[in-house]
A = this chain, B = another copy of it.
Amino acid sequence: MSQKPVKPHGGDIYGATEEYGWDRNEILDYSANINPLGVPEELKELIISSLDGLVHYPDTECRALKKAISAYMKVPEECIIVGNGETEIIFLLFEVLQPSKVLIPAPTFSEYAEAARRYGAEITYFELKQEDGFRLDFTKLIEQFEEGVDAVVLCNPNNPTSTLIPKKELEKLIRSARDKNVKVVIDEAFIELTEGDNSNSTADLVGEYENLFILRAFTKIFAIPGLRLGYGIGDFSLVKRMWDKKLPWSVNSMASCVGEYLGNSREYLKASAMWLKAEKSPFVSELCRIHGIQVFLPEANFILLKLTDERLTSEKLCGEMAKRGVLIRDASNFKYLDDSFVRIAIKDRESNSRFIKTLREVVERDD
């Protein structure tokens, strides 16, 4: 096995094709949690018809995109900031907020801490306990607000644990936070891939709670991580400060085709919901039957697994799977997890079958 450090994120098919010699199209990428329905056909057509327009600079103010997102999310345009993937929004937010202390329930996506630290914040982690199925203890979290915390970041559904915080609980938390002058940042990158879709979102509360900021992306739901399009929803004065600080033209022209597509995306969204409903539960059942792994029940389109046989580490499993053309996410570098954790995606039935077969081959071979 190579002694290279754990990749900071999933989805590095380029390194894998280099290291294992697989053709990019043969690889089964379960390390990134993307809608397996693929790039919507109509979106592809819009991009193709936009190619002559590449001769123009993108609209620095993303006017058409803001308008389309406003209609899709039912929030005013002036509460929306658009960026080069959600990553740009995360960094921009902390650059503008400059919080001195940020509270982050973990394990979670590492970029919040990375961004907050870059702009001088001290990070306090709040441990999500394995024995609670990594569910958030609200009462305890709210107690932490006392200690000079400026902001709390919640990933909902949470990556990598695939747990969803009920909206009612969230609103209570946002209210408590407001009373204590704490910003609440909620990353909803996967929200359209939960049962209930946007009804789980707290974006509609932005008008009511000035201390609330929502991170969003079209990356997962429209299967377009290569296109780079994220957005944020928050109080208009904060959003204005973010636009003022944002680099010009960071959103490419083709990404703005998503705006045009949004109004016609109903069928695709419906098909996505049906796929998830049809495939999640049989896939989870199959996984549960495999010896040597513990399955944390998922509320989004990805699953956290724990290897219960000590002879198998996450690194070894990832390597063995990659040799067989299947990429999974080594989750050992998530705060509070160790080398017994991996994260996998949920895909279409055929891929899921090949995945189960391969995983069984690797995990159960010493049984």
B-binding residues in A (CB < 8 A): 8-14, 18, 24, 29, 32, 34, 38-39, 44, 47-48, 50-61, 63-64, 84-85, 87-88, 91, 111, 223-228, 247-250, 252-255
Contact = CB atoms under 8 A, between A and B. Distances in A.
B55 A34 contact: yes
A251 to B, nearest CB: 8
A9 B56 CA distance: 13
A228 B58 contact: yes
A182 to B, nearest CB: 26
A62 to B, nearest CB: 9
B223 A252 contact: no
Contacts of A39: 51-52, 54-55
Given A47-B51, A85-B250, 11 more contacts: A9-B248, A39-B55, A48-B51, A57-B226, A85-B249, A88-B247, A226-B252, A226-B253, A227-B254, A228-B249, A228-B250
A11 B60 CA distance: 10
List the 3 closest pairs (A to B, CB-CB), nearest first: A226-B253, A11-B57, A54-B226
Contacts of A8: 248
Nearest to A64: B14
Nearest to A219: B57
A250 B226 CA distance: 10
Nearest to A10: B57
Given A87-B250, A226-B254, A29 B51 contact: no
22 contacts: A8-B248, A11-B57, A12-B57, A13-B57, A14-B61, A18-B63, A29-B56, A32-B56, A39-B55, A48-B48, A53-B226, A55-B223, A55-B225, A58-B226, A84-B228, A84-B250, A85-B250, A88-B247, A226-B254, A227-B253, A227-B254, A228-B252
Nearest to A222: B54
A63 B13 CA distance: 12
B51 A44 contact: yes
A87 B228 contact: no
Nearest to A59: B14
Nearest to A92: B247
A275 to B, nearest CB: 14
Contacts of A111: 248
A291 to B, nearest CB: 32
Given A14-B61, A63-B14, A250 B55 contact: no
Contact of A84 (B18, B48, B84): B84
Contacts of A247: 84, 87-88, 91
A3 B58 CA distance: 24
A46 B10 CA distance: 26
